Amino acid sequence: MPQYYGASVVKKVQALLDTPPSDVPITTTWKRILAILVDQGIVKGKRKLQCTQLLPHPKNRSGIMINGFNARATGSKVAKVGANMEELHGAVCIEMSPFSMQQQQQLEANIKLAAGSKDMIPAPSGKEEFLTLGTSHMCMFIRCAKAGLKSCFKNISAADGSISMEILATDPDFKKMLDEGWDWVVLPWQVEAAWPTLPEFAQRALNASNAVASDATEWEVAVSIGEVFSNMQEPSWELAMASAAASDPPCLSYLSAICTIVREYGGGCQTFL
């Protein structure tokens, strides 16, 4: 693997990173960047990684990184409909920096994330080697399950309130995700050194693709809020609304109004009251 990249490649990728999304869709630009990295041999074939090897990149979601509740909401929804590993095609990560100072910063960001999560996110083990840019919430859900943390949702809950590995393992794809992990596009650490803005750009592009795929109508969002609320071990309208907001629905600007309608007029379930 090269330790540095040619000036022409650096310039070409940087020009794409500087392309405004108003001129070219961000997902299209990301595909072009990835094609260059593959063509140059910078990125090679996919690698199967276990989630215990991965932490969210500190620039993930503009520094917010991961929401522990939304990771569980993702896991709960997948458990209801059935896991499909083919849907993990946006799995992209980058190697952690080999330099002690930068690597410590990456670890400290994750230590801080875990410390402020109210036991919703496990602390780093110190054995992680990669940082996620895509499928980050699903990866975090698997980490939470393996760490035996609380579930928040009845359909994935063990008797003690933790995420039930036994329930998840009844789904063949979920069992593979727990035991083996899945295939990732791995960017070498040098990529971030050459193009500091690339990790955040890649994350935004990958997240945009997921948001488009999961665009929901007002009715679907309302149903989602009600279902999430009724399945929570400790019901919270605020968290149920946050779960619906995670997919960036078109009705995001008036989501609280939809939540009010569900809360006041949902009916048919005493749990809503």
The answer to whether residue 82 sits within a structural domain is yes
Of 198, 189, 73, 193, give the one whose Cα is nearest residue 131. 189
Question: Rounded to an integer, what distance in angstroms lies between the CA atom of residue 27 and that of residue 202?
Answer: 8
Q: What percent of the chain has pLDDT over 70?
A: 91
pLDDT recorded at residue 51: 97
pLDDT recorded at residue 119: 92
In terms of domains, do 87 and 179 share one?
Answer: yes
Residue 101 near residue 94, CB atoms below 8 Å: no
- The domain tally of the chain equals 2
pLDDT recorded at residue 251: 87
Mean of per-residue pLDDT scores for the chain: 88
pLDDT recorded at residue 270: 43
The answer to whether residue 241 sits within a structural domain is yes
The answer to whether residue 129 sits within a structural domain is yes
The answer to whether residue 75 sits within a structural domain is yes
pLDDT recorded at residue 229: 83
The answer to whether residue 29 sits within a structural domain is no
Low-confidence ranges of the chain (pLDDT < 70): 1-3, 209-216, 231, 233, 246-248, 267-273
pLDDT recorded at residue 42: 95
Q: Which of 192, 227, 255 is the last residue of a domain?
A: 192
Find the length of the chain.
Answer: 273
Query: What would the pLDDT profile of 150-203 be if each residue is shown by its tens digit?
Result: 998 999 999 999 999 999 999 999 999 999 999 999 999 999 999 999 999 999
Of 197, 152, 217, 229, give the one whose Cα is nearest residue 57. 197
In terms of domains, do 52 and 160 share one?
Answer: yes
pLDDT recorded at residue 271: 42
Question: Rounded to an integer, what distance in angstroms lies between the CA atom of residue 116 and that of residue 241?
Answer: 20
Range of 87's domain?
47-192
Q: Which of 125, 158, 192 is the last residue of a domain?
A: 192
